[in-house]
Amino acid sequence: MSKRKMLSFSQFIKRFPDEKACEEYLFNVKWSGGFVCPVCGCRHCYVIKTRRHYQCANCRHQTSLTANTIMHRSHVPLLKWFWAVYLVACDKRGISALALSGKIEVCYETAWNMLRRIRSAMEMRDEHYILGGIVELDDSYFGAKIKGKEGRGAGNQPVFVAVSKNEKGHPAYLKMKMTPNVQSDSVESFICENIGLASTVQTDGYNAYRTPLGKGYFHERGVFTPDGELLRWLHHMIGNAKAFINGTYHGTSTKHLQMYLSEFCYRFNRRKFAGDIFDRLFVAIAG
């Protein structure tokens, strides 16, 4: 696979010099085969230039370029949205609301709100992907450590982590989901939603995995050791996710943890498409 390079900022500015260029790009992402009325399906429209709206020639329904996108009803110019998406896409470590607000010259609250919407688009994109083949599964704990507790359950927020592996045994696709606990019922709902039946699932010997994975999965249990092969990739990625969250966002409250976990997974799952990540992210946002 040939890897395209991410656009440099000067290339990006040339590609999107003004609102009009952003509008054209957004139009093509939204209606790649030309305008289609969301009400009657008619393909003809009139452009209401003053309001950037499109009126269906048949039923007169009015729609805007940003309707049903994360930019809907936002007062931020499209150009700033494009810069924000570019900055999120091109910095592997992610960008904080404080850094974004300085770079695109919006207030902190606006930057925070824009990032929240971009991350929710990332999350939605991966939501329905089902892992299959050989999958490593474990639970991990994020957030501050609970006093006096060591080992399993030492942190305050349990998270299920699962990664599918390719034929070479390397990680392919990653999922991380917060869970209220790591009891059998929670294991069952996580695997039902995220791992396809008949997959081979590798876990450590923790008892709560035994019953749910006995129903329609091939369950391989072993003893986890830090230097062993079992769950090697998965623990590597948990370490990276913790570094990502602590490094960029200086830790996070449980309230926003899922958002950052989803961003980490989104980036990991598209690591081979670095040059296309802006366009891919934009499809997620405008789709």
Report the interface residues with Zn ion, using CB under 5 A.
Answer: 37, 39-40, 42, 56, 58-59, 61
Nearer Cβ to Zn ion (59/144): 59
Residue among 45 and 261 whose Cβ is closer to Zn ion:
45
Q: How many Cα atoms sit within 13 Å of 208 on the Cβ side?
A: 16
Nearer to Zn ion, 59 or 107 (CB): 59
CB of 128 to Zn ion, least distance (A): 29
Reported as type and span, the H/E element at residue 213 is helix 210-213
Residue 179 and residue 183: Cα distance in Å, rounded?
10
Residue 78 tokens read as 């499209």
107: helix, strand or coil = coil
Least spacing, CB of residue 51 vs Zn ion, in Å:
17
- Residue 61: CB minimum distance to Zn ion, A: 5
Residue type for position 109? E
| Shortest CB 27 distance to Zn ion, Å | 17
| d(C-alpha 95, C-alpha 164), whole Å | 27
| Closest of 174, 155, 181, 177 to residue 251, by C-alpha | 155
Cα–Cα dist 172/73, whole Å: 37
Nearer residue to Zn ion within complex by CB, 40 or 48: 40
Query: Minimal distance in Å, beta carbon 39 to Zn ion?
Result: 5
- State the residue for tokens 């980036």: 267
